[in-house]
Structure 1
Amino acid sequence: MIQIDYSSPAGFFAGRRVGGSTSGPRYKRFDNTAEALRFAIEELPCSQLRGAVLEIGDTRFESNEIRSLYDAVHYPLPRKET
């Protein structure tokens, strides 16, 4: 299992939507990783999560790893109910 500091600043690069376009900014900076993960999973369309990259310091995480970090027991924020 990947261990990270959820309070670390993070950069998020959104993937392209089906058809090659993006909606909104392609890069977004977050004060903490937990908020970046919340944005990626709860607000971003699934089609844009594919190809997305989360950057924490020098480490990069792709879409399947982003989902794992959000689903981890140590994720500090309340999750959106589905």
Structure 2
Amino acid sequence: MGTELLEAPGALYLGSDVVAAQLSGPRHFRSAAAAIRFAMEQAAPVSLRGAALQVGGVVLDREQIRMLHLDMKAVEAAAMRSASLARQDAGWAGSSSSL
């Protein structure tokens, strides 16, 4: 799933099984990324059994949602490491002039 789909609005279905999720109806999110975060970080674990995320014409099942969440967390961690290294490099650059 590309960045453009993660930024697209999403409809998240949660329930103890697929039928319950469909009967409960969707919860709408401004972005698929927000829906994925909600599903994996805030929703009751039992409700993930019937989870599905609809983004445009694409429907993701619970395993695809879980994998995307792991990918998103890895990207966030890499960005944080990169920002930390950039701050350290800036600190080193500033301290070398005083040598």
Bigger Rg, which one: 2
Normalized per residue, the structure richer in helix is: 2
Q: What is the distance in 1 between the residues matched to 2:52 and 2:28? A: 12
CA contact (8 A) 1:14 1:53 kept: yes
Corresponding residue for residue 72 of structure 1 = 71
Relative to its length, the structure with more strand (as a share) is 1
- Give secondary structure in 1 for the equivalent of 2:7: coil
Residue 13 in structure 1 maps to residue 19 in structure 2: no
Which 5+ residue runs of structure 2 have no aligned equivalent? Answer: 78-99
The percent identity for this pair of structures is: 25
8 A contact 1:34–1:76 mirrored in 2: no
Would the alpha carbon gap of residues 34 and 73 (structure 1) be closer, same or farther in structure 2, given more than 3 Å must change? closer
Query: Higher relative contact order at CA 8 Å, sep ≥6: structure 1 or structure 2?
Result: 1
Structure 2 letter corresponding to 1:14: L
Cα RMSD after superposing both structures: 2.8
> Which ranges in structure 1 are unaligned for 5 or more consecutive residues?
none
Residues 28-66 of structure 1: CA deviation (Å, up to 9, x unaligned): 011101100011000111110011110010110111110
